[in-house]
Structure 1
Amino acid sequence: MGSSLADTAQEKIKRVYESLTRAERQLAGVILENYPMSGMGSITRLADKASVSTPTVARMVQKLGYSGFPDFQDALRIEVEARFSNPIAKHESWAQSAPEGHILNRFTDSVISNIRQTLANVDPKQFDDLTGMLADESQALYITGGRITHALSEYLHLHMQVIRARVRHIRSTSNAWPHDLLDIRPDDVVLIYDIRRYENSTLRLAEIAKAQGAKIALITDQWQSPISQYADVSLNCRIEAPSAWDSTVAMMLLSETLIAAVQEASWDRTKSRMSTLEDMFDQTKIFRKFV
């Protein structure tokens, strides 16, 4: 059975993990540790690294829906290519295989598919855990993103500022971001947006924050940022679109849902802060009123 980017091997492993044998779980841990490169060697090498037999490897990949180890590796190669494709290569790939029809319809179909697949793979418990982390005002909240996703991080930051206190935005694209980490204390929350062409500065930021005892929350794509190795909570979003650039619509949907969930979880506090803010808006006459 072939694999598609609509369902990565990593997601399949996590979905069947509870049904795996002890040896298969041991193997799964080795594969996920340095995914997807961990599965690119020979079947014997992978078995030795996980201290299991080669038949165990063969059985597990079949449980994941692959016809055998070569099919499993083919799926990983496709994922590696997708992770590191640049915008020009992406556009040429789409142009060759783009279905007929207007771009409005093709792009919309792709985005709707991204949303459906994202929601189908979001673990409600992880979502609720993240909601609780963002709502907990006893811990400071730091929010950051990369070159493209910084816009999402700014959007979330603006809303979280209204909902709760002790919220800070980190510009990871600036050389000054280490200054923002000076005040991080154990159990503070650092929420990071990171999608493919994963950025070294964002990864280093996560490493340092984790070393200082922070909890890391990650919103990433279906291939998962390297930051996932440090993440306490990780939510994956589908981002592919018929364009030279990826689509962040599914990530925005998830962000706005988080905003709504955190607001609901702490409504009395949020209502009070909103009321104070509205009074300030009235005093400063920032918004026009038609009454």
Structure 2
Amino acid sequence: MRFSADEPPPPIEDQLRRAMDGFTPTERKLARHVLDHYPVAALGSITALAKAADVSTPTVVRLVQKLGFKGYPDFQNCLRTEVEGMLASPLVKHDKWAGNAPDAHILNRFADQVVANLQATLAGLDPAEFDAIAALLADPERRIYALGGRITHAMAEYFVTLMRVVRPDVTLLSAMANTWPPALLDMAPGDVLLIFDIRRYENSVLQVAELAVEQGAEVVLITDRWLSPAARLARHRLVCHVEAPSAWDSTVPLLVLVETLLAAVQDLRWQDTESRLKRMEDLYEKVRFFRKFR
């Protein structure tokens, strides 16, 4: 595989999935083992990986070379760098940017990076994948649930606040484990769980995803380019570029995807959404919710 020198390569997990059709049966067996135990499976020796996957060491070498690496050490160095990025703390992120900060004002530096993130995110999206997600969210036969982590909970809450106007049966899940059983009690096969999860990935998010899949729900994931562990459970996923000159990643691309999904679902359901909007405006009028200027 060859990738642009101007863009970071996609995560190895993604590279394995994309290359799967070109592997031999034995290589596919190895690739599935790595994906099922990602990234831990490939952090040990080549001998340990081959033994765990029940393949030969030459199979491991052939697979990583098909991915474009010189050999297993090159592959493993890339994977370790990827894992370091996944686990980067706010302090590490800050130091990375502070050490190479240009002379431009922070407003310009931050805005430039956010625009670059948005462009890279949109360039990497498959319109067919996006449309399939919008169709799932617009389906009146499916309940919609949304969940975020410590930082991305705000994205889930914003999505739910507006999607509840567009359509019924939309629920925001809390990160508190004691709220999951009653919230998931009515989750049925075909319902949709929309997850927002960017580095450093939270165990609670993965646990809810696993519970939802057990219930037969379809998982839709909005994540970063390092990929949340919940990616292996997702039917659909949208990948965002989130790095910023800050101790924290930028969630602007996630917000743009949320608002674009809302617009897409609104268009797919406009007749029903229009009726709901009119009824909601009547309710606002009755409770005098908005201030009027005369």
Q: State how far apart, in whole Å, the 2-side matches of 1:26 and 1:226 are.
A: 20
Asked if structure 2 preserves the Cα contact closer than 8 Å seen for 1:146 and 1:173, the reply is: no
Please list the CA deviations of residues 58-115 of structure 1 after superposition, one character each: whole Å capped at 9, or x if unmatched: 2332332322221111111111111112112221222123334221222122222222
**How much is the aligned-residue C-alpha RMSD, in angstroms?**
2.4
Aligned-partner SS, 1:208: helix
Q: State how far apart, in whole Å, the 1-side matches of 2:179 and 2:99 are.
A: 42
- Structure 1 residue 241 and structure 2 residue 244: aligned? yes
Match of 2:154 among 138, 151, 154: 151
Alignment correspondent of 1:96: 99
Asked if structure 2 preserves the Cα contact closer than 8 Å seen for 1:5 and 1:79, the reply is: no
Match of 1:117 among 120, 131, 139: 120
Alignment correspondent of 2:228: 225
Asked if structure 1 preserves the Cα contact closer than 8 Å seen for 2:144 and 2:170, the reply is: yes
Question: How far is the alpha carbon of 1:120 from its aligned partner?
Answer: 2.6
- Structure 1 residue 171 and structure 2 residue 170: aligned? no
Cα distance change, pair 198–180 in 1 and its aligned pair in 2 (3 A): same
Alignment correspondent of 1:259: 262
Cα distance change, pair 108–12 in 1 and its aligned pair in 2 (3 A): farther
Question: How far is the alpha carbon of 1:175 from its aligned partner?
Answer: 4.1
Question: How far is the alpha carbon of 1:245 from its aligned partner?
Answer: 0.7
Question: How far is the alpha carbon of 1:13 from its aligned partner?
Answer: 2.7
- Structure 1 residue 187 and structure 2 residue 190: aligned? yes
Please list the CA deviations of residues 12-41 of structure 1 after superposition, one character each: whole Å capped at 9, or x if unmatched: 333333433433333322222222222212
- Structure 1 residue 30 and structure 2 residue 30: aligned? no
Alignment correspondent of 1:67: 70
Q: State how far apart, in whole Å, the 1-side matches of 2:128 and 2:65 are.
A: 28
Residue correspondences, number: 291
Farther-moved stretch of structure 1 (242-251 vs 180-189): 180-189
Farther-moved stretch of structure 1 (55-64 vs 264-273): 55-64
Question: How far is the alpha carbon of 1:6 from its aligned partner?
Answer: 5.0
Cα distance change, pair 139–175 in 1 and its aligned pair in 2 (3 A): same
Cα distance change, pair 124–17 in 1 and its aligned pair in 2 (3 A): farther
Please list the CA deviations of residues 194-240 of structure 1 after superposition, one character each: whole Å capped at 9, or x if unmatched: 11122222222222222222222211111121222222222221211
Q: State how far apart, in whole Å, the 2-side matches of 1:206 and 1:100 are.
A: 43
Match of 1:85 among 88, 97, 114: 88
Alignment correspondent of 2:131: 128
Q: State how far apart, in whole Å, the 2-side matches of 1:117 and 1:42 are.
A: 34
Aligned runs of 1:266-285 on 2, under 5 Å? Answer: 266-285=269-288
Alignment correspondent of 2:111: 108
Asked if structure 1 preserves the Cα contact closer than 8 Å seen for 2:147 and 2:156, the reply is: yes
Structure 1: which amino acid aligns with 2:231? S
How high is the sequence identity, in percent, across the aligned residues? Answer: 49
Structure 2: which amino acid aligns with 1:245? W
Q: State how far apart, in whole Å, the 2-side matches of 1:10 and 1:231 are.
A: 14
Structure 2 residue runs without a partner (length 5+): none
- Structure 1 residue 56 and structure 2 residue 59: aligned? yes
Aligned-partner SS, 2:190: coil
Asked if structure 2 preserves the Cα contact closer than 8 Å seen for 1:6 and 1:117, the reply is: no
Aligned runs of 1:2-21 on 2, under 5 Å? Answer: 5=8, 7-21=10-24
